[in-house]
Amino acid sequence: MTSLRRIVVVVAPLLSSVSVVGCSTPRMAPPADIASASEVLTVSDRSRASGSFVNEGFKLGNYEVVDVDRKWNSTSGSGVGPWSKETKTTGFSYVLAAGGKKLPGKCSSVTKSQGFGGFSWDSVRIACSCDGEAGKVELVMTDGGRTMKVGDKEYKVEPINAVEGGGTQSKPTGFRADGDGPLGAVDVGHPGQVWLKKGLDDGTRSTTTCAFVGLMLYKAPSEVSP
């Protein structure tokens, strides 16, 4: 069995609209090329609440997201991402399950002070990894560029700002990955949704979904209940 390690790095301001407890979040409107070429994994049984004593699991198409643990951090084992050994690293873990098979995932983030556009803010970068059966995949999203490499294939990752019902907003409602054509997309609002290219093999389908789940579960530290 080939081991797959997926790494996701994102900048929190892009995701600051995600999963605010008690508030409605805009739904992502999928671009036409994504909508026409993808299967849709819809979400059900997902709570808005989060924290150590909350069951944050939910159903996603034929998958189940289980064992969400926001107490996990880099001191619980090997860290994730380029800042694995930094003391400010925090994170969460989860499992994507289907057909008796389980695919563990984990994310870690670190806060750094950074200036942009004439103002300053604390920028949280997050890295997620999942182990699967389709080989090594890396997805990196930073101000310097956003790419996903699957084997010898490289995909561009770009934010989506379109809102269901029409219009756009300044903060992304989701993200998409593209090579020669769309690979998939994820709505990072609540409850969320995933689009996957039709005809993907089971390994690529599950590992791509697992990485997208990490983005769906991400919360800024200030949004996480103890």
169-216: pLDDT as tens digits: 888 899 998 999 999 999 999 999 999 999 998 888 888 898 889 889
Query: For residue 52, what are its two tokens?
Result: 């150590």
3-state secondary structure of 54: coil
Q: Where are the domains of the chain?
A: 4-223
Residues 196, 96: Cα–Cα separation, whole Å: 16
Tell me the CB-side half-sphere exposure of residue 97, using CA atoms within 13 A. Answer: 11
- How far apart CA 146 and CA 203 sit, in angstroms, is 22
10-14, 17-21, 40-44, 150-154: which has the highest mean pLDDT?
40-44
16-46 core/surface letters (b: 16 or more CB in 10 A; e: else): bbbbeeeeebbbbbbbeebeebbeebebeeb
- Give percent of the chain above pLDDT 90: 33
- What confidence score (pLDDT) does residue 26 get? 86
pLDDT value of residue 90: 67
- Residue 52 near residue 70 (C-beta atoms within 8 A): yes
pLDDT mean across residues, the chain = 76
- d(CA 50, CA 198) in angstroms, rounded, equals 32
Report which secondary-structure segment, H or E, holds 208: helix 202-217
Cβ-based burial of 81 (10 A; exposed 0-12, middle 13-18, buried ≥19): buried
Smallest CA-to-CA distance from 165 within 47, 61, 24 is with 24
Q: 16 or 70: whose pLDDT is higher?
A: 70
